[in-house]
């Protein structure tokens, strides 16, 4: 039988058949392929292992592995604060902030030219608002009073007190006061509380909300720059949670010191999320949009109940997410506030002045703040809420424009 099998594997000339060739060469080739795959797998595993060791060594010496991007969760923000607090002694995100049991954080009062990095100095008044003067509660006769609430774009991160858009709005008005009650990092929820618990006490005639698209996401967080209040919608009604705001000691006492299972995976994953998660993806979340709408509805009711009119101003963002702007505009007739969008004004300002309106991807520079202030004033005039620009105000405005040139 063996001889017949051997003969069957050769042709009549004694040469091996094609089947014999495949049979003879197939096994070595399969072994060679398996060996290459095994070596490749070992190489990949070793590379990942070396990278993991490198990242663990890096984080051991450098610390603060938390990397915050758009879309970060409350827990990631909490982890970042704990690391900054423990490693650098930072109480709140900026040194000019302090703990607040109702708002999470607020400005320290009576700061005189407080410097943060290379930014212009920040000065606050006795009430803890960004201003070079105190805000009297009693409103002078024949005076129009405007209260502005918002986040860092209204606060004026990166510019001097005089260059924030509320301050540059005031120089264009006669017999008017503009109070800047904005705080960096605030969501619409904190802005609402500022208005209800402090802003309305100034008896404003007009309330202006600087609405940045990221505020939609912040409304869903219980922790951002620090722990913060958070409203939830239950049967169409707002309920305030996470109150009172926990103290530093309470947050540190709850710290489990959990570390990433893989520092390499954490590093790659956090940066991919930052690259592929856009502001418009976050701000188009239906639940967060409905929460934001409810907050603006209550803000309008509170302002109206105090005899003030409400203007919502859509502030700039890196990609100008139009869906959110459209949502803000579509809610205006239903809720009752006036609405304006700064996007076109800033684009036109950049074309006119041949200068960027922004300091970075988000915050406006001094000229951008001035262009925004002019647009807001023109909107207020069109609404009939303020008098047209007077000659003295026009002189002050032109002088400020020359300063920026």
pLDDT digits (tens, 9 = 90+) for 325-355: 899 999 999 999 999 999 999 999 999 999 9
Q: Is residue 180 part of a domain?
A: yes
Relative to beta strand 309-314, strand 230-234 is unpaired
233 by Cβ neighbours in 10 Å (0-12 / 13-18 / 19+) ranks as: middle
Residues in contact with 287: Cβ distance below 8 Å, sequence separation at least 6, in sequence order: 220, 233
Last residue of a domain, one of 12, 43, 62: 62
Counting residues of the chain whose pLDDT is more than 90, the rounded percentage is 62
Segment 119-133 shows an average pLDDT of: 97
- Find the radius of gyration of the CA atoms of the chain: 30
Angle between helices 286-305 and 188-197 (to 10 degrees): 10
Instruction: Indicate if the pLDDT at residue 149 is higher than 50.
Output: yes
Q: Provide the domain limits for residue 36.
A: 29-62
- Least confident interval from 17-21, 131-135, 359-363: 17-21
Same domain, 80 and 52: no
If one compares 33 and 228, the residue with the highest pLDDT of the two is 228
- Least confident interval from 67-81, 333-347, 359-373, 383-397: 67-81
Same domain, 46 and 154: no
User: What is the DSSP annotation of 271-303?
Assistant: HHHHHH--HHHHHT-HHHHHHHHHHHHHHHHHH
The pLDDT of residue 103 is: 98
Same domain, 53 and 87: no
Q: Is residue 316 part of a domain?
A: yes
CATH of the domain at 351: 3.40.50.1110
138 by Cβ neighbours in 10 Å (0-12 / 13-18 / 19+) ranks as: exposed
Residues in contact with 215: Cβ distance below 8 Å, sequence separation at least 6, in sequence order: 151, 186, 187, 188, 191, 292
Instruction: Label residue 280 by pLDDT band (50, 70, 90).
Output: very low
Same domain, 43 and 168: no
Same domain, 91 and 222: yes
The pLDDT of residue 4 is: 47
Same domain, 40 and 76: no
Same domain, 124 and 237: yes
User: What is the DSSP annotation of 104-173?
Assistant: EEEEPTT--SB--TTSPPB-B-TTSSBSSS---SSPPTT-EEEEEE-SHHHHTTTS-GGGSHHHHHHTT-
Instruction: Indicate if the pLDDT at residue 239 is higher than 90.
Output: yes
Same domain, 259 and 174: yes
Comparing CA positions, the residue from 285, 190, 294, 286 lying closest to residue 235 is 294
The pLDDT of residue 68 is: 61
Write the CA distances from 398 to 167, 356, 391, integer angstroms. Answer: 15, 19, 10
Q: Is residue 23 part of a domain?
A: no
Same domain, 174 and 284: yes
The pLDDT of residue 278 is: 47
Instruction: Indicate if the pLDDT at residue 52 is higher than 60.
Output: yes
Same domain, 175 and 319: yes
Instruction: Indicate if the pLDDT at residue 36 is higher than 90.
Output: no
| Residue 232 dihedral angles phi and psi, to the nearest 5° | -125, 150
> In whole angstroms, what is the distance from residue 346 CA to residue 279 CA?
19
Q: Is residue 100 part of a domain?
A: yes
CB 167 within 8 A of CB 372: no
Segment 170-174 shows an average pLDDT of: 98
Same domain, 41 and 166: no
Instruction: Indicate if the pLDDT at residue 152 is higher than 50.
Output: yes
User: What is the DSSP annotation of 322-388?
Assistant: HHHHHHHHHHHHHH--EEEE-HHHHHHHHHHHTS-SBSSSS-B-HHHHHHHHHHHHHHHHHHTSSPP
The rounded mean pLDDT for the chain is: 87
Instruction: Label residue 2 by pLDDT band (50, 70, 90).
Output: very low
> In whole angstroms, what is the distance from residue 35 CA to residue 303 CA?
74
Instruction: Indicate if the pLDDT at residue 7 is higher than 50.
Output: no
The pLDDT of residue 1 is: 46
The pLDDT of residue 281 is: 46
The pLDDT of residue 319 is: 60
> In whole angstroms, what is the distance from residue 177 CA to residue 183 CA?
19
Same domain, 151 and 176: yes
> In whole angstroms, what is the distance from residue 125 CA to residue 128 CA?
5
Q: Is residue 15 part of a domain?
A: no
Number of domains in the chain: 2
Counting residues of the chain whose pLDDT is more than 70, the rounded percentage is 82
User: What is the DSSP annotation of 118-133?
Assistant: TSPPB-B-TTSSBSSS
Sheet holding 206-211, edge to edge: 176-180, 144-149, 206-211, 309-314, 338-341
Segment 167-180 shows an average pLDDT of: 98
Segment 238-264 shows an average pLDDT of: 83
374 by Cβ neighbours in 10 Å (0-12 / 13-18 / 19+) ranks as: buried
H-state helical runs in 9-73: 18-62
Q: Is residue 87 part of a domain?
A: yes
Instruction: Indicate if the pLDDT at residue 13 is higher than 60.
Output: no
Instruction: Indicate if the pLDDT at residue 19 is higher than 90.
Output: no
């Amino acid at each position: 039988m063996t001889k017949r099998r051997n003969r069957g594997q050769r042709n009549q000339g004694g040469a091996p058949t094609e089947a014999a060739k495949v049979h003879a060469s197939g096994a070595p080739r399969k072994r060679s392929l398996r060996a290459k795959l095994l070596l490749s797998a070992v190489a990949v595993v070793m590379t990942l292992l070396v990278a993991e060791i490198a990242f663990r060594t890096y984080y051991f010496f450098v610390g603060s592995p938390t990397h915050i991007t758009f879309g970060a969760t409350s827990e990631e923000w909490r982890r970042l604060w704990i690391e900054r607090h423990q490693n650098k002694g930072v109480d709140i995100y900026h040194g000019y902030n302090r703990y607040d049991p109702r708002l999470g954080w607020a400005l320290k009062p009576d700061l005189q030219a407080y410097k943060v990095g290379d930014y212009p100095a920040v000065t606050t008044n006795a009430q803890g608002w960004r201003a070079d003067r105190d805000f009297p509660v009693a409103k002078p006769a024949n005076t129009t009073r405007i209260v502005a609430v918002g986040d860092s774009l209204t606060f004026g991160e990166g510019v001097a007190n005089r260059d924030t858009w509320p301050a540059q709005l005031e120089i264009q008005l006669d017999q008017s006061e503009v109070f800047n009650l904005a705080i960096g990092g605030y969501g619409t929820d904190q802005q609402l509380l500022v208005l209800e618990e402090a802003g309305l006490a100034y008896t404003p005639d007009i309330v202006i909300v600087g609405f940045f698209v990221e505020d939609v996401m912040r409304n869903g967080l219980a922790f951002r720059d620090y722990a913060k209040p958070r409203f939830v919608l239950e049967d169409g009604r707002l309920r305030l949670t996470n109150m009172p705001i926990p103290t530093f000691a309470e947050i540190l006492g709850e710290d489990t010191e959990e570390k990433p299972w893989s520092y390499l995976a954490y590093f790659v994953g956090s940066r991919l999320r930052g690259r592929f998660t856009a502001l418009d993806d976050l701000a188009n979340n239906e639940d967060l949009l409905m929460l934001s709408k409810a907050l603006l509805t209550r803000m309008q009711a509170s302002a109206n109940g105090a005899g003030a009119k409400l203007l919502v101003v859509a502030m700039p963002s890196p990609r100008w997410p139009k869906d959110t702007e459209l949502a803000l505009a579509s809610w205006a007739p239903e809720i009752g506030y006036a609405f304006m969008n700064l996007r076109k004004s800033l684009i036109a300002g950049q074309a006119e002045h041949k200068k960027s309106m922004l300091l970075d991807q988000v915050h406006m520079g001094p000229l951008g703040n001035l262009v925004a202030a002019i647009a807001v004033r023109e909107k207020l005039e069109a609404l009939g809420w303020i008098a047209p620009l007077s000659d003295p105000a026009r002189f002050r405005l032109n002088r400020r424009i020359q300063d920026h040139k």
